[in-house]
Amino acid sequence: MSVIISGMPSVGKTTAADAIAEKYHLKHVAGGDMLKQIAVERGYEPAGSDWWDTAEGMRFMSEREKDPEFDREVDRKLAECISKGNVVITSYSMPWLTPDDGLKLWFDATQANRATRLAGRDAISKTKAIAIIKKRDRENRRIYKDLYGIEFGKDLTPFNFVIDTNNLSAAEVARAACGIVEEYSKSEKECSEEKTTKK
């Protein structure tokens, strides 16, 4: 089984992916972590969830913008993981790039809601958080439009389910996602058993 979770920054993807990975004994592979590995290979020292917003993180992002191969390399590695199965992936782009693979979940929330989460997580002001969120949203839309023609955050056709996280805590989002995965795994098992019976 492969589960692919996407959504705008600070929407609760990582917490849900960790919960799904633990409950269903899957490996959690994050696109952001793979991008950080590439940063390490190029001499950067990424540390912490807020590294992207540091001077060094922004310098790496500037370098990334000039070389689309950074993202393509990450996406190739993620596609390999999905093809092998038994993973939960958090990725901005993979739902569009692997249309026939896995259960795909989109987490949705307003910029204001996501800024509140970011401010609480990184202990920064709400004003700074909303500025960061707006900047990341613009960058993500531009990057994936330029790379793959993806209407990131607008075209939700690849997704099996959309979860509105606005009025949910991180734990509630994780429970909702786990519930969907539970039903999906039952459905997949029933389909598999039906095919076996017909043979």
Higher pLDDT, 105 or 59: 105
Phi, then psi, of 133 in degrees rounded to 5: -60, -45
Q: Does domain 2-27+81-198 have CATH number 3.40.50.740?
A: no
- The secondary structure of 90-117, three-state, reads ECCCHHHHCCCCCEEEEEECCHHHHHHH
Residue written as token pair 């990424």: 46
Domain boundaries of the chain, sorted by first residue: 2-27+81-198
164-120-51 Cα angle (round to 5): 100
pLDDT band at 104 (very low <50, low <70, confident <90, very high): very high
| Residue pLDDT, tens place only, 113-171 | 999 999 998 889 999 999 999 999 998 999 999 999 999 999 999 999 999 999 998 89
- What's the order of all strands across the beta sheet hosting 87-90? 27-30, 87-90, 2-7, 103-108, 161-164
pTM of the model: 0.86
Give per-residue pLDDT as tens, 176-198.
Answer: 999 999 998 887 666 555 554 55
15 three-state secondary structure: helix
pLDDT tens digits, one per residue of 21-50: 999 999 999 988 888 888 898 899 988 777
Token pair in block for residue 83: 């093809």
